[in-house]
Every structure is written in structure tokens, then in C-alpha cells.
Chains A and B, each alone.
Chain A
């Protein structure tokens, strides 16, 4: 019996809890996007580099503490660390960190950011466009509907219910009604702040169908933790079917009474 299952048994007091391994518990949520692996792999690379340097620090810290404790090494060496050799060693360590870690990570991150996360897809027919409005404490979503123009009668409007297809690029324009929120898709590894008075944008492309969580990541008041929406990822055919159904629904006068439907803006196409 290992420490982990002992802990689960006596402190968590749930025998079944040990069935899920600690490793699985520590894993980030399933990556369902085409770009998410860039972030995961950079995270792992950074972890390796950090571990290398942290192990060096620990070797020095614990090794020297053990080797040069007073009982074993009663007379300290009288050096100031100002000789050319010592300065060169220290400078080399500084340079090594910069070249091995900083340059490497910065380079990869810049590449990923410029070529993927901040490279806005051309908005042709195949791109799904969604307007997102955060409010205390819910997410409103708006699709352009059949005519492809936002702020018209046939827009599809949902509350806390985002449905998207796989295999198509999706562009969001995000803003907020009241306070700052942050529109976060943990499964796609991205987020962007929803700020009153500004329209921010984000894009992704999904790969896996299923039901996922959408999170507000920025503190937005008492029920911040309840500002949860669901993301349903469909295949493109299912998505088209859903859009048709919703398009039919927009024709009913009855549902036009809801004031919640009347928001939205002209799509900003300067990208």
C-alpha cells in the first residue's frame, strides 16, 4: 500500500478515490483543439528545463550543506568570489540560463503566438463566428444565423449554451455588459478577457466532439464561481442541423419577447 492510497483511505475517507491515480488527477483537462498541444508541449519543455536547474540548485544546497557542515569541515575557505575564475563561472551560469532557457522558451512561444494564437483566420464562409457577451453571472452567445449578418432578426441567441462544430475555424468576439470577465475554454487551453467598452477576440479550432465546461476566469463578483457555460462540440453535419433547427425557432414571435435577446454588435472585420 503506497502513501497515496493510505492518504485516500484515512484522510479523504473514500476508498474508491484511490482508483483514480494521482497522475490522472493532476492532468489538465482533455485537449480538444488543434492548437492546445502547442501549449502543452511548451509547458512540458519548460518543466524539463526548470527541473534541470532546480536539481542543480538542490545539489548545491543539500550537497554543500552536507559536505561543509561545521563538524566535518571546521575551517572555511577564505575566498571572496572575486577572482577572474569565479566571476567567469558565475557569469557562465547566468549566460547558460539565458541561452538554454530564456531564448529557447521565448523563441517557441513567439513562434506559437504569432503563427497560431494571434494569427487570425481569414473570415471566409467556412469560419464560424460567435459573439460572446459576459454579464454577471452568465455567458450570452450570438450566431449570425442564415443571412450571415449580426444584429438581424434571424440571429441565434443562447444563454450559457455554446455549440460548435469540429474541423472549422471559430472566431469569437468578446465583450462584457458590466464588469471584466474572462472567457476561458480550459479544454482548448485559451482565454481572453471580456471587458466593457472593448471587443476582444479569440479563435480556435476544435477536434473532438463532446460536452465541456466554459469558465469565467476573472473574478467578477459574488457568483463568479457560478458563471459557467457548457460547450457542446458537434460534427459539422450535426452542427448544421442544430443551426437549422434554431433558425426555424427564431421565426416564432413568442420568443421575441425576451429582452435578453437584444444585444449584439456589427461584426468587426478589420482582421
Chain B
């Protein structure tokens, strides 16, 4: 269905054109993967410092403490603590998860899975990555400004994020970094949408696309629509900070006409709620596919799953008000937002039922990617259901801004997305690097991550329900929180356990790139288009553009002889 011929140029020869300024979607995908993993490590270290402070207030951070905070004998100081949780959020969302799931697997998987030779706009693709690098440079540079990096929380509500609360240039640089990253992601999103619409292989209808592509596509739509909104918001914030406008200033600080700090919250959350789905949709798609691949049967109700994801995409744009119940919007609005938020549980329930339907009477192989995919079902079940408390106006009055919220959104955005990202890494690693990851190390990594993250995030929900609020440096100045010290210590031990568990992954990943056993063309025995070509995927992927004749999950068909799967290029048996 391609609208135009996909030309083949010669493979790049020099190091620069091959590995650095590459137009190749596979190389750009790998670049995003390294970028994301590096920031995942940085954001993870920040999380450790946050956790250490909460469990052992006033004690020096081990090993690095004396080097990083010499003025306080290794103890994380309160202003640094505020910077840490701000940048932990920013980095994990925009610089780790987005690049890994959308940047890396979006770039890598979309052309391969729809049978295209590359993205439709390769130059835009390259530009998207290098703008992301520029954004990262700005963000990291903000840490070395005189008053330190941004410290107003990742939501950076004015007026705390204006000159009233954050006079340092670090906050301005943070805004600029987010703006540049927004431009980069929008470029990527436009590219993904156009590629999926124009470059699907002949014969591939929208419902013949793997659900991974569906997830990435819907994500790209949300990205293209809502990142510009965030960009506009932070740009106005920069105006307030640099040019003396008063979009978000009110009260005594608004010397030349009054704006409204709550306006920023509207702008932020109309982006911010879809952002949650921007992060989780690719993971849903990947999980929907992997469950079918490893249960060796077609994805149960694949069309319904795709349509549910689309419904959620639409609904996600009209529920953002549930982040702002405590700003005292009119009861009419709180009721509408509560009702709309609740309706999201219908499509969610439908694809959960479909996931379990996929497992039903399958022939399940518990290889590492499958373990991670099953892990996503578990943690997203918990994360999604606990959202009900927060969507409800009256329980939110108590739970808003407590650790319950932190636990909830880490279950959905951190645990599910991270496990989904690992599932994808273990699954597509052979096609990316032509080698296999070690299964045993992978399984050890899974169980440590799974136990660790449940300890961390379940613990957070517990301390949140007990009343511990967010973003406090030392909870124990409050008498009613002192009983939570042992639970907070448990969360921190779990976090350390989980952190060390990631070393299994890092070792496995780095070792296997060079020394892992060579991967066959189709190690998982599945039929989507990327497995019809050699591993690693060759220059321009497909010699001949494939013609698609059946759906992506045709497995377990009793008419098949000798194998239980068929390629999408084969006539339905």
C-alpha cells in the first residue's frame, strides 16, 4: 500500500555516517536505547538517594555521599532533595521511558513490523534523536548552574516555578530542555504516524498490524497532539521567568496585571494525563503481542483490544481534571471528570479480559520476554485498579498529594512500563544485535525486579494511606508519621534489592552484544514480518517488500504442518 517507491541507497561507510548521524531507523532506535538506558541509570541513582533520605534521615549517603555533598558530611541536603525528586521524575518520564519505549522500539519495530525499508522521513528521524541529545545536554547543564537544577517538582507548578519560588537559571533551562524535547518527540510522532499510514506492506490492513504497532501509533497520535501543548505551557513559563510577563502570576507578585497559576495546571494536565497513556500504550501493545506469541495462539479478540486502546486514547484527553480536584473546581466539573475517568475502566477491563483470554488454553512457554509480559499484567492490574481511589473525588480529598498517589502512578507508569520495556528488550534483542540474551540471567533479573518493585510501590501505597504526603525531606518531623519508619526502611531495602538486580541486566546486555550466542532468523518462532528477515536486520530490511496475507498472530492453526506458526507473508492455512 505504499504510495511511493522506497528507494535503496548504498550502505554508509564511515563511522560518523554509520553510527552517529545515521538515517537508518534501526541505528536510531539503538541510539535511543542507549540514551534511555543511560538516563534510566541516572534516574535510578536519584531514586536511591531519595529513598535513602526517607529511610535514614540525617545519615550520610553510602559510598558517593561524601563526594557529592561534602558540605553536609554526605547527607543529602533539603534543597538537593527537592532537586532530586524533580529531576528523578523528569528524567524517568522524558529521558528514560520515552526514549526506550517510543524512541527505541518505536523506531526499531514500526518499519520492520509493517514491512517498510525505513521511516518515511529519515532525516526528521535523525533530527529527532539529535534534538533529544541537545535537550539532555541542556538538562544536565542545568545541574551545574549556581542555584542548582529545577526543584519545583516534575509538574513545576507556578508560582513555585516562577522567579518567586525558583530564582535560579536551572528552572529556566529545565523549561527549555522540556521544550526542545517536546519538539523532538513531536518530530518522531509525526514520522511514526505518516510511516504507519503510508508504508504498510501491500495487503496489510490496519487490523493486520501487530498490536505493538497499534500501541505505538496511538502513542504517536497523542504525542503529536499534546506535546505542543506542554511546549506552549513551558514557553509561557519561560516568558514569565525571563521577560516579566504574568501569565501564571497572581496575588502580590502580579505587579502588572494578574494571570492565574491554576491556568498552568490546566495546560500541564491536559498534556499530563495523555502522557500517562503515551507511556503505557506501547507497553500494552507489546504485551498484547507477546502474550499471544508465547501462548502459541492468536491474540484473543485482537480487534477488540486495538479498539479498546483507541477508546482509551480518546478518553484520556478528557479526564485530566482529576489531577486538580483540590484546586476546588466547581462540583459540576469534578463530577464530570470523575465519571469520565471511571469510564476508562470499561475498555481497560475489555483488554484485560482479552489478555487472559489469550492465555486460556494456550501452550505457554515461559521464556524471559513472556515472564516480563505476564509481570505487566500483574502490576498493571494493581496500578489500574488503585487509580479508582484517586479518580473518586471524596477519597482523593484525603489521598491527594500523599504517597498513595506516588505508589499508584509508579505501578502504572514505572512498573508496567519498565517491565514492558524489558520484555521488548529481551524479545527484539536478537533482531537488533543478532545475538541472544542469556535466559537464566534474564529470569533472575525478572524475579528480582518483580519482587523489588512490588515491595517498593506497595510499600508506598501503604505509607500513603497512613498519611505520609509527597515530596517531604524528612517525614518524621510529623509525630503521626513516626510509626512509618520501619515501613519506609522496608521500601528502601526493596529499592536497593531491585537496583542491584538491574546489574544482571546490564551485564547480560553488554556481554551478549559481543559474546552472546548467535541468534537464528526466528528464535521465538513467531510470524510477524521482522522475523522473515535475517538477524540482525540487514541494510534496508527487506530486499523485496513483503506481501501480507494473514494476521500477525496466526499460531496453533491445526492445518499447519511441521510448525505451529505461520508467517504473515503466507496464505492462511
Contacts and interface: CB of A to CB of B under 8 A. Distances in A.
Interface of A: 7-8, 11-12, 14, 17, 20, 24-29, 38-39, 42-43, 46, 49-50, 53-54, 57-58, 60-61, 64-65, 68-70, 73-82, 86-87, 89-91, 93-98, 101-102, 105-106, 108-110, 112-114, 117-118, 136, 175-180, 182, 184, 186-187, 189-193, 195-198, 200-201, 212-213, 215, 217-226, 228
Contacts of B402: 217
18 contacts: A25-B484, A43-B465, A60-B356, A61-B356, A61-B377, A64-B362, A77-B297, A80-B302, A93-B352, A109-B393, A112-B394, A117-B394, A178-B253, A180-B160, A196-B252, A222-B82, A224-B472, A228-B477
A21 to B, nearest CB: 11
A224 B471 contact: yes
Given A76-B297, A217-B402, A177 B251 contact: yes
Interface string B342-365: 110111111011101111111111
A28 B556 contact: no
Which 3 A-B residue pairings sit nearest by Cβ, starting from the closest? A197-B250, A196-B251, A81-B300
Interface of B: 78-79, 82, 151-153, 157-160, 164-165, 249-254, 258, 260-262, 295-304, 326-328, 331, 334-335, 338-339, 342-343, 345-350, 352-354, 356-366, 374, 377-378, 381-382, 385-386, 388-389, 392-395, 397-398, 400-402, 462, 465-467, 469-475, 477-480, 483-487, 489-490, 493, 555-558, 564
Nearest to A78: B556
Contact of A39 (B302, B347, B395): B395
Contact of A225 (B78, B398, B486): B78
Nearest to A59: B356
A67 B71 CA distance: 59
Contacts of A69: 363-364, 366
A94 B353 contact: yes
B397 A190 contact: yes
B160 A220 contact: yes
Select the residue from A82, A180, A186, A219 with max chain B CB neighbours within 10 A: A219
Nearest to B153: A219
Q: What's the dominant secondary structure at chain B's contact region?
A: helix
Contacts of A106: 338-339, 342, 392
A212 to B, nearest CB: 8
Contact of B462 (A11, A26, A61, A79): A26
Given A80-B302, A192-B328, A221-B160, A42 B467 contact: no
Contact of B250 (A12, A79, A196): A196
Given A38-B394, A176-B251, A197-B250, A64 B382 contact: no
Nearest to A14: B486
B301 A43 contact: no
A12 B467 CA distance: 21
B349 A93 contact: yes
Contacts of A46: 388-389, 392, 395
B480 A213 contact: yes
Contact of B466 (A28, A108, A187): A28
A87 B304 contact: yes
Contacts of B334: 113
Nearest to A12: B486
A8 B486 contact: yes
Nearest to A36: B398
A68 B359 contact: yes
A222 B301 contact: no
B490 A7 contact: yes
B401 A218 contact: yes
Max chain A Cβ within 10 angstroms of own Cβ: one of B158, B343, B388, B470: B388
Nearest to A61: B377
Contacts of B382: 54
A82 B301 contact: yes
Contacts of B365: 70
A186 B467 contact: yes
B568 to A, nearest CB: 15
A193 B326 contact: yes
A28 B467 CA distance: 6
Contacts of A220: 160, 165
B466 A27 contact: yes
A62 to B, nearest CB: 9
Nearest to B302: A80
A190 to B, nearest CB: 5
B363 A70 contact: yes
B151 A222 contact: yes
